[in-house]
Amino acid sequence: MRAAIYARYSSDLQREASIEDQVRVCRELGATRGWREVKVYSDKATSGSSRFRPAYQQMITDARAGLFEVIVAEALDRLSRDQEDVAGLFKTLRFADIALHTLAEGEISELHVGLKGTMNALFLKDLAAKTHRGLSGRIEQKRFAGGLCFGYRVTREFDAQGEKIRGGRDIVPAEAEVVRRIYEAFCKGSSPMKIAKQLNAEAVPGPNGAPWQDTTIRGHAARGTGILRNELYVGRLIWNRQHFLRDPQTGKRVARMNPRSYWQIEEMPELAIIDDALWAQTQTRLAAIAASPTATALRDSGFWTKRRPQHILTGRVVCGACGHPMSAVGQDYLRCARAHRNGLCDSKASIRRPILENIVIEALQHNLMAPDLVKEFVSAANAEINRSRAEETACRDELAAKRAAVERQLDALIEAIANGLRSGSLQAKLDKLEAERADLSAAMAAPAASPIRLHPNLAEAYRQKIAALREALEDEASRDEALQIIRSVIEKVVIHARPEGGCEVELVGEIAKMVEVSMRCSDTQKAVPGGTAFDDRTLSSVKLVAGTRSYISSAPFARPGVAVANARGGEITCPGRSAASRSTPDGARR
């Protein structure tokens, strides 16, 4: 039997050799049973309470593919400590006809799944309770249970026996000065976003050396996080404010608030960084902001609990200067999140979302409407259908010829038997031929594939579908499907700021390759209608980029509210702009 070995240890504190030890004893078991090892799966420093482990998931995938007939592990808890996951694994392996053996329990059966699964789940619950009790005792001793806030460092302390004393903290003077500066600036009217930009401009390192974010300063009101809400800065340690549950769908831990009666609060004035007056002034301003009409309206509308609608380019637009995603600023405007929120990017480029989406839709509509492309598709489709039909006809003719030959042999054998010829080999051959005839008859009995007919007006139907692309995005019945199809051909959209003002839009992904094909097939319709020129400061350009990132097309489009970009023969062009001023395919201005 082909055997797979699974090994796991759950904590960073355990040794790497734990995996090697588990694999070694599993190999010894396999050797005594005569099993042949085909693969070893191992997850390091990963809890058995979650099934979202890379090697574990790969093992299940390979089991469904039939790569082995038995799985060997040191114990059932190495595979999982969750009752549901153990039962699911057992059912999956049973369906795939794969046995499960462990050194501790032997061959796993339904009894082991019920009893050991329950015991492993209780073990995890008991372990969590003991850990929580130990951490609570450490808090009562005015020691920290874990985590490190900005402004503090871990102390190195030892008892009389030389054992390390854990949970101590000291103030870092330089970081404490930054904390005081943040509180004072906020009380004087500066917003968290403005403070973050100023600190980043001065290259002041944030928590863990990372750049400052406005959310790092603002924090979460209910959870007491963030620089402005952390009560440790006034010498008050609060523990057990929240607990975590694992989402069974994603395997991720999700925070849940505990009742205030569960909180454990210890006064530690020696760790205070700011005074009570500055803290009270800060909390007063935070409360005023939370009670403002804007914040109240957002809460009452359920804004923070609603999922924002997905647009064509949601998550696809990035800044050309730093590569960071661009975020919504104001109404329908997109701007680099790093430039807007913390000043880590100098790009000033911004663009309205509707204009950007129009560029994508126009590129798809006009570049996919090339008649030559549709004709080429019809021709290729007909050729492929004819080839497929010819192969099917030849296959059926071959089956008919084989069946005719078998029937002739059967007739000859039957004639021989009728004339008195008798032998065991003759009967065996007769049985074989009859079985072969039955197989051939069954194969020929399968209905032939229904003929495919391409509508004579296919090109026009295709044109209408592409022309209705925008309507498909606005129709609730087809929006989701149309949205996902369009998003699948766009890898990303890069926004580049132009020195003379405005920005360039670079489309990267399959859409660029589609336009490249369109340009090769359609080298006509290059003329651009004349008209009134627009102010160059309001113009932007579109760059369609193939996989090699070479420019495919570049041309200006109109400022918002004037006209929508049109695409002709593979170029995005601006109505009302003379042909002499449009961009060439290599991006150079003429």
Q: Which of 305, 330, 351 is the last residue of a domain?
A: 305
Q: Which of 127, 156, 190 is the last residue of a domain?
A: 127
pLDDT at residue 100, as a whole number: 94
Better-scored residue on pLDDT, 56 or 160: 56
In this structure, the answer to whether residues 119 and 54 fall within a common structural domain is yes
Phi, psi of 248 (to 5 degrees): -65, -20
- 149 pLDDT above the threshold of 60: yes
Q: Which range is least confidently modeled, 427-431, 436-440, 561-565?
A: 561-565
In 68-93, which positions are buried (b, 16+ CB within 10 angstroms) versus exposed (e)?
bbbbbbbebbbbbbbbebbeebbeeb
Residue 490 falls within a domain, yes or no? no
pLDDT at residue 45, as a whole number: 84
pLDDT at residue 275, as a whole number: 93
What would the two tokens of residue 531 be?
A: 């008209």
Other C-beta atoms closer than 10 Å to the C-beta of 542 total 27
In this structure, the answer to whether residues 300 and 228 fall within a common structural domain is yes
- 428 pLDDT above the threshold of 90: no
Q: What is the mean pLDDT of residues 411-423?
A: 75
Q: For the residues of 175-190, what is the DSSP string, one character each?
A: HHHHHHHHHHHHHTT-
How many whole angstroms separate alpha carbon 338 and alpha carbon 345? 6
Domain count, the chain: 3
The answer for 209, left when phi > 0, alpha when psi is -120 to 50, beta otherwise, is: left
Say if CB 489 and CB 511 are below 8 A apart: yes
For the chain, percent of residues with pLDDT exceeding 90: 27
In this structure, the answer to whether residues 10 and 123 fall within a common structural domain is yes
Check the CA dihedral 256-261-266-269 and report its sign: positive
What's the Cα-to-Cα distance from 186 to each of 170, 181, 407, 424, rounded to whole Å?
25, 9, 96, 102
Print the domain residue range for 114.
2-127
Better-scored residue on pLDDT, 228 or 376: 228
How many whole angstroms separate alpha carbon 322 and alpha carbon 285? 34
In this structure, the answer to whether residues 186 and 267 fall within a common structural domain is yes
What would the two tokens of residue 209 be?
A: 């050396």
Better-scored residue on pLDDT, 437 or 472: 437
How many whole angstroms separate alpha carbon 512 and alpha carbon 312? 16
Q: How confident is the model at residue 259 (pLDDT cuts 50, 70, 90)?
A: very high
Which SS3 state, helix, strand or coil, does residue 518 take? helix
pLDDT at residue 460, as a whole number: 65
Q: What is the mean pLDDT of residues 379-389?
A: 75
In this structure, the answer to whether residues 291 and 180 fall within a common structural domain is yes
Residue 512 falls within a domain, yes or no? no
Other C-beta atoms closer than 10 Å to the C-beta of 272 total 18
For 409, half-sphere exposure in the C-beta direction (CA atoms, 13 angstrom radius) is 17
Q: Which range is least confidently modeled, 4-8, 216-220, 507-511?
A: 507-511
Which SS3 state, helix, strand or coil, does residue 102 take? strand
Residue 266 falls within a domain, yes or no? yes
In this structure, the answer to whether residues 109 and 13 fall within a common structural domain is yes
Residue 291 falls within a domain, yes or no? yes
How many whole angstroms separate alpha carbon 435 and alpha carbon 406? 10
* DSSP category for residue 589: B
Residue 12 falls within a domain, yes or no? yes
Q: Is 391 exposed, middle or buried (0-12, 13-18, 19+ CB in 10 A)?
A: exposed
Say if CB 507 and CB 545 are below 8 A apart: yes
- 586 pLDDT above the threshold of 60: no
In this structure, the answer to whether residues 117 and 180 fall within a common structural domain is no
CATH number at residue 87: 3.40.50.1390
pLDDT at residue 336, as a whole number: 87
- 506 pLDDT above the threshold of 50: yes
pLDDT at residue 513, as a whole number: 62
pLDDT at residue 30, as a whole number: 92
Q: Which of 383, 418, 445 is the last residue of a domain?
A: 445
Better-scored residue on pLDDT, 561 or 255: 255
pLDDT at residue 575, as a whole number: 33
Q: What is the mean pLDDT of residues 166-170?
A: 90
In this structure, the answer to whether residues 89 and 180 fall within a common structural domain is no
How many whole angstroms separate alpha carbon 381 and alpha carbon 400? 29
In this structure, the answer to whether residues 195 and 293 fall within a common structural domain is yes
Say if CB 210 and CB 221 are below 8 A apart: no
In this structure, the answer to whether residues 234 and 299 fall within a common structural domain is yes
| H helix or E strand, kind and range, residue 194 | helix 192-201
Phi, psi of 100 (to 5 degrees): -125, 120
- 587 pLDDT above the threshold of 80: no
Other C-beta atoms closer than 10 Å to the C-beta of 423 total 10
CA quadruple 388, 391, 397, 399: dihedral, nearest 10? -100
Q: Which range is least confidently modeled, 81-95, 100-114, 173-187, 439-453?
A: 439-453
| H helix or E strand, kind and range, residue 3 | strand 2-8
Better-scored residue on pLDDT, 387 or 448: 387
pLDDT digits (tens, 9 = 90+) for 38-77: 999 999 888 888 888 999 999 999 999 999 999 999 998 8
Q: Is 338 exposed, middle or buried (0-12, 13-18, 19+ CB in 10 A)?
A: buried
H-only helix segments in 310-352:
337-341
Residue 575 falls within a domain, yes or no? no
Better-scored residue on pLDDT, 584 or 465: 465
Residue 159 falls within a domain, yes or no? no
Say if CB 62 and CB 39 are below 8 A apart: yes
In 212-223, which positions are buried (b, 16+ CB within 10 angstroms) versus exposed (e)?
bbbebbbbeeee
Q: Which range is least confidently modeled, 323-332, 441-450, 566-575?
A: 566-575
Residue 23 falls within a domain, yes or no? yes
Which SS3 state, helix, strand or coil, does residue 257 take? strand
CATH number at residue 255: 3.90.1750.20
In this structure, the answer to whether residues 173 and 123 fall within a common structural domain is no
pLDDT at residue 454, as a whole number: 59
In this structure, the answer to whether residues 7 and 112 fall within a common structural domain is yes
